[in-house]
Structure 1
Amino acid sequence: MSMRIKLVLVVVVIILLEHYNHGEKAAADTNPNQLELVKPGCSATCGSLVVPYPFGTTPGCYFNDDFFISCNNTITGGGGGYEGGPKAFFRGRSDFVILNISLERQEMRVSRSISKSCLEVDKTGNVTSYSNEDNNPGVIAPKAFRISSRRNKFTTVGCNLFGLIQTVDQTISSSPGSKKYSSETSALRGYIDACVSTCTLRIENVKNGTCHPHGGCCQTPIAIGDINHYTTSLDTISEDFRSVKLCGYAFVTEEEEFKFSSLDLIKSLDNRKAAPLVLDWAVRNHLNCAEARSRKDYACKAKYSDCLNSTNGPGYICKCRKGYQGNPYLLHGCQDINECASEKLNPCSSSATCINNPGGVTCTCSEGYIGDGKEAGTGCTHQFSRQLKLLVIAFGICMGILVLVTVGFWIYLVEKRRRLIKLKRMFFEQNGGILLQQHLNLSRHKPSIEIMKIFSSDELIKATNNYDKSNILGQGGNGTVYKGVLRGNKIVAIKRSKACDRSQIGEFINEGIVLSQVNHRNVVKLLGCCLETEVPVLVYEFITNGTLASHLHPNQSQPLSITLSWQMRLKIAAEIAGALAYLIIHIYMRIIISKIL
């Protein structure tokens, strides 16, 4: 029995210890101090307000006197509606009730009473003006704070009134050796603006939630920064307000929080009493980061923090680096963010594995998948699918290049052919082709006259196999003669001259026409010509058994020339003389005779 009792007691003790540890852990998780918001041993709250360092509510818990927060549950301040529970104020100031402190945006939201002014005429006609802030020097923010020109707007509520906002601020600098502001280096800078509100719109036409200058509400942005002191006032734009009591409101408030309603005109704003105001705060014991980093009282203590110059007045602010969160004003305040545990911050795709690293994450794809693994990047795709995709892309690119090359080559050929045709036409005209065509057209009406043929350059190139050397019949000082085969296997001799006298083109054409009409057994007949080349090409009938010179002047390569007897040679000379006589008698072309001589 005693053993059973001991076992039961052991189990009970274990359960109690587990319960105690669980409760202790839960308490630690809900304790703001665990978030490194404040110094050890310092309170992080004032009622429902979280008070992070560099702010503090007790000595030793704040950076300097500019960041001391007075926590008191007996002072209501800031108008009605704030009774009950501890309230936070600046040291010795009950005109600001602190609503929220943001480390991320370096802002503080406070609540302040709305300024009200009235104009009233008594029975004797005297005008009386009074305000709920007659003895108030205006809104003066503590030294570390500036009125946020980004988040606030100057607002006027009332009928036929115009509100004025005026500032007289000190822009203050510090010398390298000073830690506090010096009045000797300050400069005055003034700013004034107005906002007019009328009630020309009927009350039922006023749209709730919007501020319209003709609907009893006017809002205007604050045009400058670096403001920590301003005053507001109201006046009427109507000269006749006898027997009328004009009351209105002029105040600076957070733009996003103030929602105008037609009830503000009917029942007045007295039921609101206070309006939120946004202040920008910074560490202002030095002008900027460059000056502050070399000082012992440098505020950016966290290892993973950066210093940024203030954008609203002198001084600087501290920020945790990207991938870190917390309080940059504490030594261990900036802690790594576990983006993998946050659905909102996790950048990895659903098919990737998220690995948290200091200041960031690594997204890795599973085996067989490739990519950066990020939702906003390439993600993770199957390696085969990716290879297939790359193959398709590569094939498409190759096909595109092939099409471009083909089209480009086709365009090149068309252009080349067009230029070649143009060049041939130019040579044809230069070589007297037009004149020759005219003669040939006239000769067609005379059937007894044999017509000379005009060959194209393509025909002769094909006939001579592009003027191949194996087709050369003979060469001389004036040109080269090739053997050619025309359509129908007709063999011809084609003479390409080396030069042409352009001034004798007309004579050349006439000679060609006459020679094409020669019909003698001992005269080689001219069949036609080609005028599409730079130098005209002549086409003759082909004579077999070689040239006369090869028979008259024997050599080892032409042994047949030895068989010519003197009787044969004399016959050849007689036939040549007969051919010349034929040309002289029947053709009447002295120019031919002169060339022979």
Structure 2
Amino acid sequence: MRMLLQVLVSVHLITIIISFVFIAQEAGASMTKPGCPEKCGNITIPYPFGMGKGCYLNRNFEITCNMSSNPPRPLLLQEVQLLQISEDYLRINDIVHHSCFNKQSGKTNSSHVPYNRTHHFSYSHTQNEFIAIGCDIFAYITEDNSKTNATGCASLCNTDEDIATDFSSSACSGIGCCRTYLQTDISRFYLKMRSINMITPIWTSQPCGLAFISERNFSIRQYFNLSSKFLERNLYFVPAVLDWSVGDVSCPEAIRRKNYACGQNTYCHNSIQGQGYKCHCSKGYQGNPYLANGCQDINECNDPDETFCLKIALCTNVPGSYSCTCPTDYHGDGKKDGTGCIRGKHPHLLSLVLSLGVGITVVPFILIATSLRLYRGLEKREKKKIKQKFFKKNGGLLLQQQISSSKESVEKTKLYSVEELEKATDGFNLSRIIGKGGLGTVYKGMLSDGSIVAIKKSNTVDEKQLDQFINEVLILSQINHRHIVKLLGCCLETEVPLLVYEYVSNGPLSHHLHDEGHVYRISWKNRLRIASEIAGALAYLHSHASTAICHRDIKSSNILLDENLRAVLSDFGLSRSIPLDKTHLTALVQGTFGYLDPDYFHSGQLTDKSDVYAFGVVLAELLTGEKAISFDRFEQGLASHFRSAMKQNHLFDILDNQVVNEGQKDDIFAVAKLTKRCLKLNGKKRPTMKQVEIDLQQLGRFQEQFSCQNSMIQEDFSQQQTCQDDCTVSERSHSYTFGPATEEIVQDIEVLFS
């Protein structure tokens, strides 16, 4: 044992000698490309950004220094004022949108303000928030490519002083000012404001409103002077934070390319946006990871107070790390968080001489073998620590606690390894993306057993989204229904959590209804069946599941279709369980604009009737083929557009041509009447999902009976037909029994078609 200790001491001595010979002293490194200007005013411009030809990576990162300002101001792409550039974010001065009510015309002058950034720059959902200031306004932003996904809030007032009151409290809680978080990083979007009640007297004295994206914890009072009519000013700028990345592909693909932007001693990290990547210095290095030799070794031994070695141990810097050597008569790793230095017995002189000789002879072999073993061991231990860290960060402990304390039987959810899911998606290759939403990106993957799955990769998780992630796992683990997506498992070892679902091959219903380039159009018969299947799934959630569940985000993009156009309900991130002894749940208003229940929006009380309203919007989409929110209509919300058409007896003017050509008028009107009842502004007057399911099933059964006839039943429902298989069908007016949600339909048919 003593001989072995002496050999180790010898190895450490030789290691120190080699380190001093081959390791250069750390030198300060510039963050700017050599030969290029380092600053504009008092702001450092690090590469890949740069000023002047050849100083930036490409045109997307070109900085112009406005020398006419004092101090000079850097501008990105000649228009965006930069306040700060860091390794992960850009802090910018961003414009404030304003909208004013014209008392004489009775209209609101509110322009469509597009915010267009390249995919290299996006508003960070973890660093920013959306704020609206004004009286009786509803402000929101919608993604440019999908106008149904929106984030917004409402600001109400009773008096002029309400704005000043909410400013002074810094709460911005909905009285004169409101704020909400972004659901995901966004590069391109429209910002809009609408008045809630334009006849309110408050609009006479405060006719304008403001809306903008700003960095979190933004001090409104600091930027807006309340002593003047600040709402009538035309231009304001507020600080906002942009996430940035380089390239157009993910890390696995980028590393294989010649134009890979990361230098030596770096690692690559995929952008949250899905396109592009980021470079970071490896552990033990610091500097600019985008320069060829920008990441320099950190000399951990420079500051004795900051080193991780014990004071009695000798600290030796090595590339990317350091080592601690205990003095003679001690053994151990010498580290504060390790085994430290343990005093041993005094060695004999002969043993010391022999061990020194042996050490000098075998040291090259031992040094190489030990170094490789230590490196692999440290790398393995570091990966394990990182996985454990992510497991805790992604709510693994909380999820385990919730499952163990759940009174209901929760199916065992499989825990996948990150390596297995990376292999299944080719390193989360962009070509594997099959959908993106407010809470994450969905990839198509193939597991080792050959099964095809859908893997949902959440956006960067904050505390709020963590609750949504855990909520989705718990709810889906308790549900077993053929029209509700099946959760197969999850992975918590990555920076963002991953959920693994059954793969539903035909994509969301919204693509089939709204994508003009879609070759196949859904028939009237299939539309009716899809509506019936989703109604059944919701009825199950509301009344047949072990505990009542409100989905809270029913929309056509959350209804998936398989190869046989079987409908499957998905995305339970916003769902909430309602105790059986309660009729409602008071909850923060969340959902998708265009589908959001106005009763829930105003009261904050969540009931199963909120899902009924959203389902009514989906029914309107199936009937009209139009989107829930559209800037091309006078009434942008499909719900109000549909109600107006029904009220004015213009239903057939807004129906999809395929519905008109294939459907029977009384069937179409039956569904339209049901849709109208689902869209009642007063939730208590809406039918239950069970009632809706029964009515749609009855319509579907009659459709099946009717399809086997050789000729069409006449419109007066009086002629009896014979089936090809010798079955008989009674007169249409007797074969369909109207349920509680469609009563009085017959007497309304003549009104519609007169």
Tell me the TM-score normalized by structure 1. 0.48
More strand, by proportion: 1
TM-score (norm 2): 0.38
